[in-house]
């Protein structure tokens, strides 16, 4: 009998004590009912100063399928990098703790990696089939940002910053160590480096509902993202990138 595939569902958190238990138990209930995988939920706290650690430790004590990682330094990218690189699962994904992306899409996200032949998949709020509820400001910012990425970096994926992504073990080992950003631009850098190294990216249209309690500072994040885009452009035009591509261990045709 073939073994079940394994999956780690990572939830990065920063001062989320008020929603952490509800979100984790919601994810667990969905996984138990819908995923034909051996799965676990991995909470990664990166620098919380509220009661997040206590809630996470309580969940670990109550549930065998919950793991907790505590990092002293902040940064969503740092949290994902740490959890993904130490994971031994066949496929690793993440979702934001507010569960803005509806969990009904989680199985498709994972299946595209395990059974669909992809190594990277991402939720998209910008496809025709997507359904979103968010403010005009956030909608406009998101669309402008993704147009900018396409114009500057010549990418094909539709939504760089949706907090709902899955990556294969192979892609983690090859791509994640190359990512420099430790914060919000981590997502974009992951997709750009994957695509430029021959990994087709599966865009999955999702239903996404804005969290009214979101603490993301749009303008500050946008400025950091622009700097990240320009850094990647310099990399892609450099001799260092040509050398990296020449040393890539797998031909593009073998990545699906």
Q: What is the DSSP letter of 3?
A: P
In the chain the beta strands, taken as DSSP E runs, fall at 6-13, 38-46, 66-71, 91-95, 120-124, 131-133, 164-168, 201-205, 207-209
CA dist 145 → 51, 205, 211, 236 (Å): 34, 18, 20, 19
Tell me which residue of 91, 24, 8, 33 sits closest to 61, measured CA to CA.
24
Query: Is 90 a known active-site residue?
Result: no
**CA angle 242–232–145, rounded 5-degree value:** 140
CA dist 118 → 15, 61, 201 (Å): 34, 35, 7
**Selected catalytic residue, list 111, 181, 187, 203:** 187
Could you give the CA distance from residue 40 to residue 58 in angstroms, rounded to a whole number? Answer: 16
Active site residues: 187
């Amino acid at each position: 009998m073939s073994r079940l595939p394994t999956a780690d569902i990572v939830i990065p958190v920063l001062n989320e004590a008020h929603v952490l238990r509800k979100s984790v138990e919601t994810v667990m209930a969905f996984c138990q009912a819908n995923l034909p995988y051996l799965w676990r939920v991995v909470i990664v706290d990166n620098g919380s100063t509220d009661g997040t650690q206590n809630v996470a430790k309580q969940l670990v004590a109550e549930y065998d399928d919950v793991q907790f990682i505590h990092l002293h330094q902040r940064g969503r990218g740092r949290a994902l990098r740490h959890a993904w690189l130490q994971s031994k699962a066949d496929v690793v994904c993440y979702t934001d703790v507010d569960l803005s992306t509806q969990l009904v899409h989680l199985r498709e996200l994972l299946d595209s990696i395990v059974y669909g032949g992809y190594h990277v998949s991402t939720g998209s709020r910008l496809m025709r089939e997507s359904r979103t509820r968010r403010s005009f400001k956030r909608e406009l910012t998101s669309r402008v940002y993704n147009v900018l990425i396409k114009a500057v970096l010549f990418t094909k994926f539709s939504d760089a910053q949706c907090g709902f992504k899955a990556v294969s073990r192979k892609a983690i080992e090859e791509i994640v160590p190359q990512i420099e950003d430790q914060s919000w631009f981590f997502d974009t850098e992951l997709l750009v480096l994957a695509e430029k190294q021959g990994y087709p990216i599966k865009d999955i249209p999702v239903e996404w509902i804005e969290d009214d309690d979101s603490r993301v500072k749009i303008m500050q994040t946008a400025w950091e993202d622009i700097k990240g885009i320009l850094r990647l452009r310099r990399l892609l035009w450099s001799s260092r990138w040509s050398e990296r591509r020449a040393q890539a261990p797998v031909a593009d045709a073998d990545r699906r």
